[in-house]
């Protein structure tokens, strides 16, 4: 719902602003409406809480069009950051890790955050091969990322899926 226009303005007296921004003073709403109709424009309520109500003489259709256009431009310029996910195994070979890291770098360069998660199927096997394998892998990944991104968060030690989130560098 937009502002009230023309006959929908219920105040008896209004503070009128002309189409070129001049303050025309306080007058009856009917006089202000006549001025707007003589200029072939609309009387638009700008501030209903003011005493007297503040109105402006303008082309309301053109005003709405410009507002819509401005909002569209703002949406175009806005960048949404997505969270991309890459899965790795706890004992991944260096070549395989490099391939995964290329994808991570691609996501970071696009301005997205990256969640790197480790598959821990057979947690007993992972623990048997070394309790600190997962933290070492995460440290290695953060080292590989280097200046391209920053470590934003880590998963809690008691979570089933271990993960880190890397945000792109500013």
Domains and CATH numbers, the chain: 6-75 (3.10.20.80), 83-168 (3.30.110.10)
For residue 122, the model assigns a pLDDT of: 64
Q: Is the pTM of this model over 0.85?
A: no
Q: Which two tokens stand for residue 136?
A: 């070492």
For residue 124, the model assigns a pLDDT of: 57
Residue 148: pLDDT band with limits 50, 70, 90:
confident
Q: State the average pLDDT for the chain.
A: 85
Tens of pLDDT, residues 28-50: 888 989 988 988 899 888 888 88
Q: Which two tokens stand for residue 30?
A: 């009917």
Tens of pLDDT, residues 15-26: 999 888 888 889
**Distance separating alpha carbons of residues 107 and 82, to the nearest angstrom:** 9
**Distance separating alpha carbons of residues 115 and 155, to the nearest angstrom:** 10
For residue 8, the model assigns a pLDDT of: 87
């Amino acid at each position: 719902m937009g502002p009230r226009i023309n006959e929908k303005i219920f105040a008896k007296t209004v503070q009128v602003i002309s189409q070129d921004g001049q303050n025309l003073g306080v007058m009856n709403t009917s006089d202000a409406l006549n001025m707007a109709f003589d200029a072939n424009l609309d009387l638009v309520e700008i501030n209903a809480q003011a005493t007297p109500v503040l109105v402006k003489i303008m082309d309301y259709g053109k005003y709405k069009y410009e507002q819509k256009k401005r909002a569209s431009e703002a949406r175009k310029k806005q960048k949404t950051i997505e969270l991309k996910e890459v899965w790795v195994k706890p004992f991944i070979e260096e070549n395989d890790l490099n391939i995964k890291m290329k994808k991570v770098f691609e996501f970071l360069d696009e301005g997205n955050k990256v969640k790197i998660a480790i598959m821990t199927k057979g947690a007993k096997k992972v623990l048997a091969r070394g309790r600190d394998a997962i933290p070492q892998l995460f440290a290695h990944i953060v080292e590989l990322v280097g200046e391209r991104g920053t470590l934003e968060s880590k998963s809690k030690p008691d979570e089933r899926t271990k993960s880190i989130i890397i945000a792109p560098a500013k």
